[in-house]
Amino acid sequence: MAADLKTQVLEASVQLIAEQGLSGLSMREVARRAGVSHQAPYHYFADKESIVAALVERGFTLLADRLEVAAKTKGTITQRLAKTGREYVDFALDQPVYFRLMFRPELAQLGRFPEAVAAGGRAFAVLQALIEEKCAGQRVPPAKRDAMVSMHWGLVHGVSSLLVDGVLGQRFVSPQERDRHVTQVLELFTQAAG
């Protein structure tokens, strides 16, 4: 029952943020939506920042789960990098509330929440491992490997952000058009990164 309360609070928080934005998040309203007493959320969360950090942790965990599955699919390393990139974009589109919270350091001082930091590290480690695999047997200096990680991450994060909150999200009339565009971007990237 206790774990259910924590889940109820988090799910009510996601719903509230989706409807009203982060400014609408309050402990009292979260409790009301979760159907619990106004003191109940405090059993797990000291304040709004604690809820945001838990949502960041949950978002990174969901993302890492998807990336790990994609990284293990059959195919060349370049194909698997493209597959993880696609999963990243799809995650952002499927879970925009989490995506918006995960990369906003001003919303929660994650240094105070090691579980959230660890979940983010787990997601990032998938990309790092793929780049290490891509560079295996080659004399690629560490600085260039880091640059390769940033290039891949920057591309998929940028496309994701533009689709979730930017002009790309407004540009495509249908999900099919959007998906075709993402596929073409990732194909161009894999050709260039080849």
Task: Read off the pLDDT of each residue in 167-185 and give the average, rounded to a whole number.
Answer: 91
Based on the fold, state whether residues 13 and 88 are members of the same structural domain. no
What is the predicted pLDDT for the residue at 1?
Answer: 43
CA distance 178 to 189: 17
Domain that holds residue 24: 1-45
In a domain, 165, yes or no: yes
Q: pLDDT digits over 86-136, tens only?
A: 999 999 999 999 999 999 888 889 889 999 999 999 999 999 999 999 999
In a domain, 169, yes or no: yes
What is the predicted pLDDT for the residue at 107?
Answer: 86
Percent of the chain with pLDDT over 90: 78
pTM comes to 0.92
Reduce the DSSP state of residue 179 to 3 states and report it: helix
Based on the fold, state whether residues 79 and 174 are members of the same structural domain. yes
CA distance 15 to 29: 11
Contact 38, 45 (CB under 8 A): no
Based on the fold, state whether residues 34 and 89 are members of the same structural domain. no
Task: Read off the pLDDT of each residue in 2-11 and give the average, rounded to a whole number.
Answer: 85
In a domain, 85, yes or no: yes
Contact 101, 59 (CB under 8 A): yes
Number of domains in the chain: 2
Based on the fold, state whether residues 14 and 70 are members of the same structural domain. no
